[in-house]
Amino acid sequence: MPGTVVIRPFERSDGKDVEFRLRMAWRMEIPKKFNLTQVIAEQPLGHAIVAICVGIFYIFFRELGTLCLAIPGFYIALYMVVLILFLFQADDLLLKELSDIPSSYKSPESGHFWVAEGEVDGNTEVVGTVGLLRKSEHLAQLRHLNVIIHQEEDRSVTKQLLYRSLNYAKSQGFSEVELLTAGVDIPLAKVLDRIGFHPKGKFYMPSKHLYILPMQTLHVKVEDMKLDDEVSSRTKSD
């Protein structure tokens, strides 16, 4: 468990470590969020593929009993293939800017990226990240909110990262902030709710024809944000 945690701007020397940690966190999170029922029940392309496989199977074997047993296997095989393909595409879908964070967040006009640095097992390490990316003149998007700590009491690190980025958004004149997420745990959901975030919409990645990963957009107006004064005072400066 880290002692004092420092929130500071991303430095080029952080690049490889931050990129590796975020990519691994994303890839570990994807299987947890997959909705197998959704994939089976609502995926038209998947149903078409399974129907073709069933037809081919029946032509060769013509055994209804075996065919009934084989249908669940087709769906499971389809699910695993799509999962593997999606994992390979994950970098392009959400992580492409991680390959060069300084360029993606190169100026106040494009955004900013912060890391939380703390002591872990006697070593100073990056234990959390958050980015703020400009989407339009009025809208900023929180990206890569990730804390690499398991102790429940260290949820404060996530709070500090949120406050730093949201105060920055306010100082840059944004009127709205959104957070794109594949799901949040209960403690984080409570923090976001207290700040003023509310659900704006849901969709599935990677496309409307391939229901793999349920995503949610959380939204807050800057003028409606409720930021704790004590935490805010510790996280305003860069």
Instruction: Render each residue's pLDDT in the chain as its tens digit; 238 residues.
Output: 455 788 999 988 888 888 888 877 776 766 666 555 555 555 667 677 778 888 888 788 777 777 787 888 887 787 777 767 666 666 665 566 777 787 778 776 778 999 998 877 777 888 889 999 999 999 999 988 888 765 444 678 888 999 999 999 999 999 999 998 766 666 788 889 999 999 887 766 655 444 456 678 899 999 999 987 645 545 555 6
Decide: pTM greater than 0.85: no
Q: How many CB atoms lie within 10 A of CB 204?
A: 18
Any idea what DSSP says for residue 107? S
Q: Give how far Cα 238 sits from Cα of 7, 15, 108, 110, 168, Å.
A: 8, 19, 12, 16, 9
Angle at CA 129, nearest 5°, toward 128 and 131?
A: 165
**What letter does residue 163 receive in the DSSP assignment?**
H
Nearest CA among 61, 27, 25 for reference residue 148: 25
Burial annotation 73-110 (CB, 10 A radius, 16+ → b, else e):
ebbeebbeebbeebeeebeeebbebbeebeebbeeeee
Among 7, 82, 100, residue whose Cα is nearest residue 38: 82
